[in-house]
């Protein structure tokens, strides 16, 4: 039993290393290691990615944000949605949920990939917390605004006098919630939470 356990551990480590080198072809390595079955459903892939600790956070972010081909099933989108649905955001304010979410993987650098990931986050957050949002698009825009605020307030490249103020953050959120504005009290709480505690993005190989 011990020998079999060690052998499986080596297979998992080898598969994770291959996944980390080439995330786009990573599921093949997981299949060969016996972590995934051939033709596994997106929900099964998402569960395996969560369970395989040796997968690098940067590689995970790259895989989750991959586009689907124009023709064929939306495998990557469904895998991303399944991965995001594994979080329980119901008890969290949106900035708190975003903080937890961004500790699970490294957000990729390419704009289109970030967009896919944030769209999935917004959908999951809205599903868990529809109030006070008019639509998930409001969650999406606010989540991006929070990331921008985080960068602005904590970047050493931005002079103190040029950093975003609370009234500026309020103005940035005007009109994003359908025909109504988001509660100013909520936006104020978010602003001070981000100002007091930076959301630290994971780097390659960095653990939460």
* 193-207: b (≥16 Cβ within 10 Å) or e: ebbeeebebbeeeee
| Cα 48 from Cα 42, distance rounded (Å) | 10
72 contacts: CB under 8 Å, gap ≥ 6: none
Predicted confidence band of residue 207 (pLDDT cuts 50, 70, 90): very low
Question: By three-state DSSP, how is residue 180 classified?
Answer: strand
Q: What global pTM score does this model have? A: 0.90
Structure tokens at 1: 């039993």
Residue 6 has pLDDT above 60, yes or no: yes
Give me the active site residues, please.
110
Model confidence over 47-91: pLDDT tens digits? 999 999 999 999 999 999 999 998 889 999 999 999 999 999 999
Are 141 and 96 in contact by the 8 Å Cβ rule? The answer is: no
171-197 pLDDT per residue, tens: 999 999 997 899 999 999 999 999 999
Neighbours of 52 (CB within 10 A): 19
The residues, any chain, with a CB within 8 Å of residue 14's CB and separated by 6 or more, are: 29, 33
CB proximity list for 39: less than 8 A, separation 6 or greater: none
State how far the Cα of 150 lies from the Cα of 97, in Å rounded to an integer. 14
């Amino acid at each position: 039993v011990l020998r079999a356990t060690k052998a499986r551990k080596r297979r998992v480590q080898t598969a994770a290393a291959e996944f980390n080198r080439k995330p786009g072809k990573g599921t093949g390595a997981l299949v060969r290691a016996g972590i995934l079955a051939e033709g596994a459903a997106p929900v099964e892939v998402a569960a395996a990615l969560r369970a395989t600790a040796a997968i690098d956070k940067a590689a995970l972010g790259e895989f989750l944000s991959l586009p689907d081909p124009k023709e064929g099933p939306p495998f990557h989108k469904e895998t991303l949605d399944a991965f995001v649905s594994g979080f329980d955001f119901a008890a969290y304010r949106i900035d708190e949920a975003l903080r937890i979410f961004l500790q699970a993987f490294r957000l990729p650098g390419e704009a289109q990939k970030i967009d896919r990931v944030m769209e999935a986050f917004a959908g999951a957050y809205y599903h868990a917390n529809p109030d006070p949002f008019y639509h998930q698009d409001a969650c999406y825009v606010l989540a991006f605004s929070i990331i921008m605020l985080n960068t602005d307030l904590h970047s050493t490249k931005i002079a103190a006098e040029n950093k975003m103020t609370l009234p500026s953050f309020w103005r940035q959120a005007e009109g994003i919630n359908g025909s109504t504005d988001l509660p100013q009290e909520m936006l104020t709480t978010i602003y001070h939470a981000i100002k007091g505690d930076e959301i630290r993005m994971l780097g390659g190989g960095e653990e939460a």
